[in-house]
Amino acid sequence: MSSVKVTKASSFSLRISEIAPDKSISHRCAMFAMLAEGTSEITNFLRAEDTLNSLNIVKNLGATVIDDGVTIKISSEGIKESSEILDCGNSGTGIRLFCGLLSSAEGHFILTGDEYLRRRPMKRITQPLRDIGARLDGRNNGDLAPLSIRGASLSAFNYESKIASAQVKSAMILAALRADGECTYSEPELSRDHTERMLKGMGAEIEVHGLKTTIKPMKKLLTPLKIRVPADPSSAFFFAVAAAITPDSDVVLEGVTLNQTRIEAFRALEKMGANISYVTTDNKYEPIGNIHVKYAPLRAITVEDNISWLIDELPALSIAFACAEGVSVVKNAEELRVKESDRISTVVSGLRACGIEVDEVNDGYSVRGGELKEAKIDSHGDHRIAMSFIIAGLRCSMNVDDIACINTSFPNFFELLEKITEVEFN
């Protein structure tokens, strides 16, 4: 199964409870269990390639992992040096957070990933960690995986990040938990905050004041996690766009995290005119609830604020731009160029192939809404590009190549899509 053809859809009404569990939270559950005393219990863990790689790494670091198919139980007596090379697959979150977790662990560790991950920049993580004493190296002077880590004593820090990145912030917070004094981390705008929320819920001394996070070193091991992983809003958003661009359609997305740093793309879709409502059903580690999206004619918007809150959803949001009246503009999104692919270039070339007028600049692009035309799209091994243009196929038939990457984050994507339209694999 290397390519797919999707047929134009008619109206639909769905209630979806099978959205893929949240990838970001699943990664963190596996890692943070290594910091706890006792057994963490995780239900609804995402069983996709990226997160299962993180779970396998945790096993290789000495944790006991018991999975009965419903609940994953993880217990650890501390991080152990592994004889294995630790393979993060396609996951930037995995490799960057493990750098922070392992930078103070006793032993020597090698982190690597697939061909796409080995092209992605790592110096945004490796350099600040080196600056506080981490013994960390890799290709191109530490900018490319494989990465080598020898655990070291880490100094307290007051770090001001030039970019809003949850991965950088999380790596530094994990390092701070074993540093030799109180640490502070500041960022130019608030990035996603799952790490802070979850570690605080486990008893870590972390305080957030605006854009500044203060972390005190752990005095003892943390309280084990007892968590059901919510549905991933980044995955749910593909079906939100599907309803928003298909006349007379609606979808209810159940059990999604409603964390404000994770639903900015839904807010953008609301500004475009989509009819969206939210109902909170739980609020322990994260606010969780249902999102109802109804079709309405869409209008163009400019997206330039809180970019780090919707960076993963911009490819799918761009499909909505293509179906809206007017010219939508994306600014301040340079981070898109260093994702699984250069997502600015891949979005622009894909939309142009579909007959949409697009202008590209270094930090973004503008999209003039129009009539999507059938095209053949290369995903470049990027799961979000693949799924975004497959959703575009609901407005016109679409052919998308290199779709195996979808398994890294959303294994049942096609199962849900087949409730809406015909899908033909090649």
Active site (catalytic) residues: 312
Identify the CA nearest to 345 among candidates 372, 331, 365, 371. 365
Residues 6+ apart with CB under 8 A from 360: 344, 345, 348
Q: How distant is the alpha carbon of residue 73 from its chain centre? A: 23
The 3-state DSSP class for residue 114 equals coil
Nearest to 189 by CA among 309, 333, 16, 310: 309
For residue 133, report the phi and psi dihedrals to the nearest 5 degrees. 110, 0
Whether omega before 315 lies within 30 degrees of 0, making that bond cis, reads: no
Residue whose C-alpha is closest to residue 33's, from 79, 94, 83? 79
Q: Which amino acid is at 426?
A: N
Q: How far is CA 345 from CA 178, 365, 366, 379, 402, in A?
A: 40, 9, 12, 11, 17
Among candidate residues 341, 339, 293, 340, the one with its CA nearest the CA of residue 320 = 293
Whose tokens are 């706890």? That residue is 36
Region of 350 please: left (phi>0), alpha (psi -120 to 50) or beta. Answer: alpha
> In sequence order, which ranges of 48-89 are alpha helices (DSSP H)?
49-60
Q: How far apart are CA 152 and CA 148, in angstroms?
A: 12
Tell me how far CA of residue 59 lies from CA of 86, 314, 339, in angstroms: 10, 34, 27
Cα distance between residue 399 and residue 377, in whole Å: 6
